[in-house]
Amino acid sequence: MNLREIALQVPQTTTTPEHVVLVLREAITSGVLKAGQALPADAIAAELEVSRSPVREALRQLETEGLIQYYPHRGAVVAALTERDILQIFEIRQILELGALELAFPHLGPADLQSLQDISERYEASTDLSEMKQLDVQFHETLYQLHRNPQLRDLISSLRMKVDGYWHMYMRLVRHKSRFEKDHRDLLLACESGDLQEARAVLKCHLEQTALMLMEQLKAEAHPPVRKRRVRPDQ
């Protein structure tokens, strides 16, 4: 998928810069644009058939979100995270998301639990990485939105987006999808039982394991195994 194809899927907004932000954000968080990849404004403008001005404005917005970085003599590139970055992001996410869960828990009703069940089942049935990512986000947002605190919601969302570009990197492995499925089921079961402490324990473990797996995959990508050269018998 390229930027033009993403632009056709992203909802139109009132201004061109806003639309470019949505397109580039989706391209980064879906893994279409990789960490460290250059983002030349001219090329992006040409592909999206817009002027350079809204592209530059969009890049500045994405820089404030931590999704891109500017370097002298190189320009804008997709932000690359270190293992330390991931660890720190998930430490903060754990504090915020456990807090959001506690605030939301008293407001959980039958309709909310059914929505979570439906999302969980759709996630398990899906084989498309982009859809799986959207459903995972939807599962957690459906639960957290019950806390009725938009400031907290936005903070959690901004931190999640910082690592979304790496999500596809490790979800390609079946064992990770299976773990997410189990985590969803266990969290839903705790919510249905009204057991806040168990729900907290499941969510805490989920975030910790996700951070560890992300760091493992990041390390594996940085240091791929060396393929040994096969020696022919006559050599």
Domains and CATH numbers, the chain: 3-78 (1.10.10.10), 83-222 (1.20.120.530)
- Is 174's pLDDT higher than 70? no
37-51, 119-133, 172-186, range with greatest mean pLDDT: 37-51
Q: What is the pLDDT of residue 92?
A: 97
Answer yes or no: is pLDDT of 224 > 90: no
Mean pLDDT of 41-68: 93
Region 109-113: mean pLDDT is 96
Q: What is the mean pLDDT of residues 68-90?
A: 91
pLDDT of residue 227: 56
Cα(21)–Cα(194) distance, integer angstroms: 40
Report, as an integer, the average pLDDT of 156-166: 87
> Which pTM was predicted?
0.80
pLDDT at 74: 86
Q: What is the pLDDT of residue 66?
A: 86
Does residue 100 surpass a pLDDT of 70? yes
Nearest-angstrom CA–CA distance, 119 and 186 = 14
Residue 15 has a pLDDT of 87
Question: pLDDT above 70 covers what percent of the chain?
Answer: 89
